[in-house]
Chain A
Amino acid sequence: MSKLNSPADLEHLREEILAGRDPDKVCITLCSGTACNATGSGKVAAAIHEEFEKQGLNGSVEFRKTGCHGFCEKGPNMVISPEEISYIQVTPKDVPEIIAKTVKEKKVVERLLYKDPATGEKATHEFEIPFYKHQQRSVLANNVKLDPKNLNDYLAVGGYSAMVKAFDMGPEAVIAEVKKANLRGRGGGGFPAGIKWEAARNALGDRKYVIVNCDEGDPGAYMDRSLMEGNPFGVLEGLIIGAYAIGASEGYIYVRQEYPLAVENVLSAIRLAEERGLLGKNILGSGFDFSIEVHRGAGAFICGEETALLASLEGRAGEPRARPPFPATRGLWGKPTNINNVETWANVPLIVNNGADWFAGMGTKGSKGTKIFSLVGKVNNTGLVEVPMGVTLRDIIYKVGGGIPKNKKFKAVQTGGPAGGCIPEEHLDIQVDFDELTKFGAIMGSGGMIVMDEDTCMVDVARYFLNFLSGESCGKCSPCREGIKQMHRILTDITEGRGKEGDIELLEEICLSTRASLCALGRSAANPVLSTLRYFRHEYEAHIHNKRCPAFVCKKLISYYIDPEQCQACLICFRKCTSGAISGGKDKIHIIDQAVCNRCGTCFEVCPTRFGAAMRLSGDPVPAAIPEEARILIRETKSEKESKAT
């Protein structure tokens, strides 16, 4: 592969690639992101290769394995161009038919189309599926268009043109453009990227660094992972532009090792860029030198915090340090350093190419552009969602997400990761915007959005996050280490029936003390408690005063019970019980031994709804078991049943 020595060389190569591509050629794109891999996209790919071989299609039909399309709920996802026919939940068995019908005869395989559960309407193209229809994809747009291991794919969609443009503009103009766009950090803090870049540019130092933060430890969020896996080129291009603007000669990509595919794809993208001279010495003859190294994180949420990340990059335990001094003046090895989130970097080439006005044309007054959310939990369409800032939570959950499964009632949406907050039904019409979410006790965070329905216990949610944080606190400073530990202990007590008068007040006192913590992990650790107390105080009170878990989640406060009046001795729960707690027989009414039952809820789930015999109880005592002799079930004969019915 020859090195490109000038922007003209790059354009020449781009023309060559485009000339060699026939837009009318059939191309099968298969999502090979982590979620689709888990649902079998690897096997589908193997089936496609096999079928190509059998039918002699190699060469005449293109096949491209791409990053995440976003609609993970219905994976593996497939799109067939040029018609852009979209298939969902494709299995290896479907492949021969897809090739025979769609590829060869241009006919649609109806059963693989998305069917709207509400209207029953089928969608032939991704853009007709409600999940995609209400999104606005700019950062994620290229994920479906390219093979993350193929630089030519990226060049074909205009890759590296923003870098060339930035070299033309000069560093100050690039920073001015990013400032004008008011790009705010996507990693959680929402700090304006342009201002940070300027500080790093103006800081004194012979050597400067830029860093991509892909630690993404937020449980239930995978935006950064999908960008890194699906389009590492875009992140690299943004990083090169930022490095050029700041005057940095070295970059680091900090990516958690739990994301092996992201590590693999970004390493490959770096190698490809180096081979082409898009990274390294004198990039495209501009005189700008820049190199990138990948550093794998070893499993510590706190390493997403920028000063802990720096400690980790230097080979130490990831303990934060006090700021000031900020990394912009004293960062890695004491040198000026600029750290941004993956999605922040990925926005940069778009801003440079389309201009600040284009970017600032989307969103609200204080929050511009789009934001990617990982919409998960109790929602019909789980997946990655990119929407302009300013869209309401309701639209995201109901229009894009398709509402709550199984006709359950919505309870709250949790945004912002472990340090975020829960927003209840009455505030669903607020817009997603950095400042607006904060006002309501949540935060934008990095984009986790977890939908909770009536079966979610909010005290348990708070306990869950505090448990998470207690395992992830670095333990250096005492308000965080001890405060989280105590809050977690009290919440555990409450959820296990040991809650007592004064617990809520003590929690509130500890919440205040955690604000004295060294870093933002500790300082925001009280948020899950404060926001659930703000909107769901009554649930805390039910647990403490009535030993009742209204959502039937807290195991120590619930029991399962089989109503002898309803039990049909069908043996289903008897067989499925995971702890052998159910006694019964073919004609013997089933009884749960409360001492043995582990409260896994399997009986409640499997009991046929027409019987409805397995029940949940909370706050009420379990009725005494019926006497042995009353357990023999006398079944009604068919005629008796009929006579009863009339």
Chain B
Amino acid sequence: MDTTNISAIIDKYNGEASALIQILLDIQNDLHWLPREALELVSERLGVPMSRIQHTATFYKAFSLVPKGRHEINVCVGTACHVRGANRVLEVVQNITGIQPGETDADLKFSLETVNCLGCCALGPVMEIDEQHLGKLAPAMAADLLKGYQ
């Protein structure tokens, strides 16, 4: 594994232990997951025990300890979307992708997450695929949309 990027990220924060979460966020954004080697390097450079790094990396939802799929689906299950039927959309998405929230399929095609409000409540139910917002969904429409991804 090439660790130059990770080192550069740590340097950007002067190797300060208090920046742990900011550093992990930057690594996550860069690699789309947090490989164990990266965590070990961070632990060593910041002087933060591995047990604390692991707690942090598993505590916050933004971090993933496994590689993500090519397409990241976020189904909004905020309250506004919930009362407008987000669950029915979510179930259809689960059926089609064959994965549960928090999972990635074996072909690394889709990763599915639920999120708690994308701030587009007016468009609920909403999902986000690869950072594109898809609003006013119905189960049948969500099913059609997913078919367009490779």
Contact = CB atoms under 8 A, between A and B. Distances in A.
Partners in one complex: yes
Interface of A: 34-35, 37-39, 72-73, 75, 217-222, 225-226, 257-259, 295-301, 312-318, 374, 376-378, 382-383, 414, 448, 450, 452, 456, 461, 464-465, 468, 474, 576, 578-579, 598, 600-602, 605-606
Enumerate the 4 nearest inter-chain pairs by beta-carbon distance, A residue then B residue, closest first.
Answer: A299-B61, A220-B79, A298-B60, A38-B133
Nearest to A256: B62
B122 A258 contact: no
Given A378-B83, A464-B79, A602 B119 contact: no
A312 B123 contact: no
Interface stretch (B4-12, B15-23, B103-111): B15-23
Contacts of A378: 83-84
A444 to B, nearest CB: 16
Interface in B108-131: 115-124, 126
Nearest to B143: A578
B25 A298 contact: yes
Contact of B21 (A225, A312, A600): A312
25 contacts: A35-B122, A35-B123, A75-B122, A221-B117, A258-B115, A295-B21, A298-B61, A299-B61, A300-B60, A313-B18, A315-B19, A315-B21, A315-B48, A317-B52, A318-B60, A377-B83, A382-B122, A450-B80, A464-B79, A465-B79, A578-B139, A579-B95, A598-B91, A600-B140, A605-B138
B36 to A, nearest CB: 18
Contacts of A37: 133
A257 B117 contact: no
Nearest to B115: A258
A38 B21 CA distance: 29
Given A317-B55, A464-B82, A376 B143 contact: no
B79 A219 contact: yes
A317 B56 contact: yes
B19 to A, nearest CB: 6
A315 B16 CA distance: 9
B149 interface: no
Contact of A376 (B19, B25, B56, B122): B122
B21 A601 contact: no
B38 interface: no
Interface range on chain B (Cβ under 8 Å from partner): 35 or more
Interface in B34-65: 48, 52, 55-56, 59-63
A515 to B, nearest CB: 23
Contacts of A601: 85, 88, 139
A464 B19 CA distance: 34
Nearest to A411: B83
B73 interface: no
A528 to B, nearest CB: 10
Contacts of B75: none
Contact of B116 (A301, A318, A605): A301
A35 B81 CA distance: 14
A206 B19 CA distance: 23
A140 B18 CA distance: 34
Interface string B84-95: 110010011001
Given A315-B17, A383-B122, A578 B82 contact: no
Nearest to A224: B119
Given A296-B25, A374-B121, A578 B95 contact: yes
